[in-house]
Structure 1
């Protein structure tokens, strides 16, 4: 196992997910990829939703802050745990984007958070984790988030 992807959705859960990845990375001398997938601004002017330009400018600023946060997490991981790490912000659909990065970087394991919802909620919503497992065809470690 040489590459572990940590899928970060919320900053407050990042440390917990990275801690699990570090345990595995230390055993296998693997590199950790800290990834967050976010929606991208449409490139085509006609594809944009109706609304003022400042909405898109604000989203671009948020993307810059998120990218800087991921790089900071990677640097902290290197310094604190002495494990190779890289932070990346990916723009696009979640499952497609993660599938592409898994192939591009030969990822061996995906570490993602899991919040427990009750059964009825799960019956009426998409199961992104199941879809992700089907697409990736590599192990997914679902970490229960507290």
Structure 2
């Protein structure tokens, strides 16, 4: 296993997923890609980007997210793991699967937290859709 992609959503539980990803990367001496998918820019989905202040806030949010995943990569590098971070914008499922293919990842690691029925009705189950659409092996780390 040469390359592992771990998708994190920066919800305060990503360290559980990163720990498991680090174990696999260490065991197989794999390169570990830490990927976070941020929501697309409003103009990508048919809306105007808004005033400059809104764009500045969005840019600051993206910089902070990138700083955080880079911090995780740096911490893993200190432990001898070949880790890189990627912050991409787009649709979560399609973006993750596209990166898996682009990076030729041998394993995709994602977290999953069970939710109540109302949440599942309102929001799509990202983990389930990734598992169903992925052409690469997927390891699901329980978060609850």
TM class, shorter-chain normalised?
0.7 to 0.9
In 1, the alpha carbon distance for the partners of 2:64 and 2:120 equals 32
The answer to whether the Cα contact below 8 Å between 1:41 and 1:56 also exists between their aligned partners in 2 is: no
In 1, the alpha carbon distance for the partners of 2:68 and 2:41 equals 20
Residue number in structure 2 paired with 1:66: 65
SS at match of 1:130: helix
Query: Structure 1 residues 50, 139: closer, same or farther in 2, change over 3 A?
Result: closer
The two structures have a TM-score, normalised by structure 1, of 0.86
In 2, the alpha carbon distance for the partners of 1:11 and 1:128 equals 14
SS at match of 1:12: coil
Deviations 1:70-124 (A, max 9, x none): 1111010110x21100011011111111111111110111111111223564356
The answer to whether the Cα contact below 8 Å between 2:111 and 2:127 also exists between their aligned partners in 1 is: no
Residue number in structure 2 paired with 1:127: 125
Matching of residues 130-141 of structure 1 within 5 Å = 130-141=128-139
In 2, the alpha carbon distance for the partners of 1:39 and 1:66 equals 12
Residue number in structure 2 paired with 1:39: 39
Moved more, 110-119 or 84-93: 110-119
Residue number in structure 2 paired with 1:143: 141
In 1, the alpha carbon distance for the partners of 2:50 and 2:115 equals 35
Query: Structure 1 residues 111, 121: closer, same or farther in 2, change over 3 A?
Result: same
How many residue pairs are counted as aligned between the two chains? 144
Residue number in structure 1 paired with 2:14: 14
The answer to whether the Cα contact below 8 Å between 2:49 and 2:55 also exists between their aligned partners in 1 is: no
